[in-house]
Amino acid sequence: MSELNNSEPHDASLASESQSHEHPVDFQNYLRRCIYIFISILCAVSLMIWASYLPHEHFSWAVKVTIILAVACCNAFVVAGFLMHLISEKKMIYTVLSFTVFFFAGLLGLTVWAMQDFPAGTTH
Amino acid sequence: MDIPYTVQPRPETGLYNAKVGIWLFLASEVMLFGGLFSGYVLLRVGADRWPHGWLNVTLGTANTIILALSAITTLLAWVACKVGHFGKFRFFHACTLLLALSFLGIKSYEYHDKWIHYEIKLNDGTFADGHLVEKSDDFDLANKTGTFTIHGRIVTDENDLYDLRSQKNIQLKEIIVAAADIKSIENYGPWHNTYLALYFTLTGLHALHILGGSIVIGYLWGPGRRMWKTDHQRFTNRIEVSGLFWHFVDLVWIFLFPVLYLT
């Protein structure tokens, strides 16, 4: 949420309804952009639901889960990229997030790895 | 005493401190939910069978749309702050608050629905499954007295209760079960099976985040709005930070919905 810069220093006394015409273009642009984002989220949700009802004679649950999670990732990109403005953030935030991605991938990766690594004689 | 960098960006980071703080907090939140999601993967892959169609997709979709809409209104509230339009800010933040409460209302209904849903193992080896309609006053499982009435169905194989997606035209009716015929009875709480334990843990933690976010948004909409006049830029930054948290909560739901409701 950083690229919308209000260059003029804000005077608290001006913060009233009567000043609403100061930056009408910015707000309208944002509103239009939000409508597009909302529609894209609705499309992604519809796609996920459609995929979950694909006939299981032709699509196994593994295939359906893959399709649904792929759509969910695209949906998450829209939310994180445009609503959280991650596509135009400062380097500091990317650094923090790259560490998070590394540890998150490690967390999931180690879990999956551990599933194939049962010590002998411990299952029954 | 003035707290530094509440408005001006800190030279080393290029950001005001609260924004660095919220991103560090969100990073820790990713690891919190990441741990639970990896637990989900571990338990699901290791499970012999996994329920399908146990949750109401319509309600889940409604909650998804509600959260997406609330994310939009949060962003618009922040933009309204940026352009100095107090009325719009109040309106969009109120919308966010109402949408958050709607989300919690639907979630409570879903929890209640699971709470009154029972699986009853009968002495003849069959299973009665459905929602509680009435429990007689003298119902006592230990003494085998009274009756338990559900709106549901009877199946001979417990596996039939697991994959509801693949079964067409499930006929439900009112069933009166005598306590003397019951071997065991359990509702669909978190103790029922691994899936429900994960469902209640993940959605419960998420609902707590919604509740926490609602309290913050409610404060900024109500008593906290005084800062609009005393320190407008700092107030706008507060709205931005709370908005980032709210978007994260929406982000988590984007994965919870398909993982629990659709797969």
Instruction: Please check the confidence at residue B185 and state whether its pLDDT lies above 50.
Output: yes
What residue type is A83 in one-letter code?
Answer: L
pLDDT tens digit string along A76-108?
A: 999 999 999 898 888 889 999 999 999 999 998
| Cβ contact, residue pair B27, A4, below 8 Å | no
Q: Does B15 touch chain A (CB under 8 A)?
A: yes
More confident residue, A88 or B181: B181
| Cβ contact, residue pair B37, A108, below 8 Å | yes
Q: What is the pLDDT of residue B188?
A: 96
Question: What's chain A's average pLDDT?
Answer: 79
Measured between alpha carbons, how far apart are the two ends of chain B, in Å? 54
Nearest beta carbon to residue B41 from set A48, A97, A112: A112
Q: Are B70 and B103 in contact (CB under 8 A)?
A: yes
Q: What is the pLDDT of residue A118?
A: 63
SS3 A60: coil
Instruction: Please check the confidence at residue B201 and state whether its pLDDT lies above 90.
Output: yes
Q: In angstroms, rounded to a whole number, what is the distance separating the alpha carbons of residues A87 and A98?
A: 14
Q: Does B85 touch chain A (CB under 8 A)?
A: yes
Q: Which of A54-68, B12-26, B225-239, B243-257 has the highest mean pLDDT?
A: B243-257
- pTM: predicted TM-score of the whole model, two decimal places: 0.88
CATH 2.40.110.10 fits B17-114+193-262, yes or no: no
SS3 A9: coil
Calculate what percentage of chain B has a pLDDT beyond 70: 100
Instruction: Please check the confidence at residue B183 and state whether its pLDDT lies above 70.
Output: yes
pLDDT band at A119 (very low <50, low <70, confident <90, very high): low
Q: Are B127 and B119 in contact (CB under 8 A)?
A: yes
| Cβ contact, residue pair A108, B31, below 8 Å | no
Per-residue pLDDT averaged across B233-261, rounded?
95
pLDDT tens digit string along B126-153?
A: 999 999 999 999 999 999 999 999 999 9
Residue spans of the domains in chain B: they are: 17-114+193-262, 119-187
DSSP per-residue codes, B35-94: HHHHHHHHHHHH-S---BS-S-HHHHHHHHHHHHHHHHHHHHHHHHHHTT-HHHHHHHHH
Instruction: Please check the confidence at residue A121 and state whether its pLDDT lies above 80.
Output: no
Residue spans of the domains in chain A: they are: 12-89
| Cβ contact, residue pair B86, A42, below 8 Å | no
